[in-house]
Amino acid sequence: MAAARGFPEAAPMEEEALDAYSAIVTRVAERLLPSVASLRVRSGWRPEGAGSAVAVTAEGLLLTSAHVVAGASRGVAGFADGGEYEVERVGSDPLSDLALVRARGARLVPVEMGDADRLRVGQLVVAVGNPLGYVGSVTAGVVSGLGRSLVTQVGDGQRVVDDVIQTDAALNPGNSGGALADARARLVGVNTAVAGVGLGLAIPLNRTTRRILEALNREGRVRRGYLGIAGASRPLPPAAAQRLGRQRAVGVMEVVPGSPAAGAGLRPGDLIVGVGGRPVASVGDLQGHLIGAGQGPLEIEILREGRLLRHTAVPHELR
């Protein structure tokens, strides 16, 4: 029968017809969907909560958000193939909003790990999770910002998680703990919060957070030192950049009175360029030196009014 006048017949969908953007998102989704679980947890008398988790080993280890499993006594991970497994908590770190759980008796398809430190603003990212109970949902967008801060609840107080990824890939309740991946389907972040309309936040997967995950897997917790500063990555002055052979440092914005940093003589306006003889260019670099309690004194190299100075701080264990 001829098509109705004015309404041409639809062309058949063929793989060749996919634009480059759609082709990338489709490939990433196909790779990630078998590795992302819907996580249902129960905490004592509280009603069941939901989130997402990402398989990181074939032997059943799953990465999720700490707030998803906070206080959870039991849970179930469900996968796109219909498989469901009881999960037990391996370790949780509210200060980074990361946690590990293990699916009992599961053989999983692990994701490939990426490096969030290589992300650039404007880069394509794909989020996979289980928002609003819809299992295996995929959204895509770009990295809207890097080095953002996230306020998270820890016990009766609040802490600031630094160095998070901001994206415009749509996130909704239930996405927390799900995967944020780059165009090659490598895991670069764990979706953690909705910051506003069209804005989502993710904890980066990089050298520092991998150390956190190793500690969670090994000890169930993370020991970290407390220095007592608020800071952010800042460009070095041209002369200092040429002298040191690098472009950025951590600018000290605030020093907590009575803290190890205050005792060491650090001041607002200082630029931290090195710790323990190694360069520091970001808050993540600085945090990496503070993971692990009982590490003893740290030599901190700073740039102040054009002069390079060395101060020694003894971090406290953060509890």
List, by residue number, the catalytic residues.
67, 97, 176
Would you call 187 exposed, middle or buried from its count of C-beta atoms within 10 A (0-12, 13-18, 19+)? buried
DSSP single-letter state for residue 237: P
- Please give the single-letter amino acid code of residue 171: L
- Residue at token pair 């802490």: 159
Report how far residue 280's alpha carbon sits from residue 319's, in angstroms, rounded to the nearest whole number. Answer: 24
DSSP-derived 3-state class of residue 135 = coil
Cβ atoms 198, 159 nearer than 8 A:
no
Would you call 307 exposed, middle or buried from its count of C-beta atoms within 10 A (0-12, 13-18, 19+)? exposed
Cα-Cα-Cα-Cα dihedral sign, residues 201, 138, 209, 308: negative
Q: How is residue 286 written in tokens?
A: 């600085």
CA angle in degrees (0–180, nearest 5) for 295-301-306: 165
